[in-house]
Amino acid sequence: MKHLLIIFSLFLCLKLAAQDDIKFKELKHNFGKIKQNKPVTFFFSFTNASNKPLIVENAVAGCGCTTPEYPKEPIGKGKEAKIKVTYNAAAMGSFKKDVTVKFANHPEPIVLEIDGEVVKGSSKEVVIAPN
C-alpha cells in the first residue's frame, strides 16, 4: 500500500510539472454576441516554459463548426506561439465549443473553450434595382 501511494504521488507531481511547461494566457474566450454567418476568430497565446522544444501534436475541435490551426514547427524555450480557433457562426443561439490540444511528451491534453451567442444580422438589406 505504501508503494502504491508513493507511485501515485510521483505520477501526480509529474503531471503537475508537465502542465507548468506550457503557459497559456487564457484557456477560455467569450465572443459575446456575434452575427449569424460571420465567422469569428480568436488566438490562444501560450509560452514554452520548459527547457526543451515544445511540439503541438494536434488540436481537435469538438465539432465541424469550429476550426483550430496550430503551429507545426517546434516552439523553442521561452518562445510564444498561438493556436487560432475560428467559429463559423452558422447556427443561431448560444454556443460553447471545446478544442483539445495535445502536446508531445505531455500526458494530459489542454482544453481550450470558446463561447458566445449567435444573433440574427441586421434586417436592413440593400437592394439595387436595375436601370
pLDDT tens by residue, 15-66: 444 457 999 999 999 999 999 999 999 999 999 999 999 999 999 999 999 9
- Sketch out the chain's domains with CATH numbers: 2-119 (2.60.40.10)
- The closest of 7, 86, 74 to 42, measured between CA atoms, is 86
Give the residue-averaged pLDDT of 98-119.
97
Q: What CA–CA distance (Å, rounded) separates 92 from 37?
A: 9
Q: Is the pLDDT of residue 129 over 50?
A: no
C-alpha dist (Å) from residue 111 to 13, 98, 100: 20, 6, 5
**pLDDT at position 130:** 46
- Measured from the Cβ of residue 50, the count of other Cβ atoms closer than 10 Å reads 19
Q: Is the pLDDT of residue 84 over 50?
A: yes
Q: What are phi and psi of 48, to 5 degrees?
A: -80, 105
Q: Is the pLDDT of residue 71 over 90?
A: yes
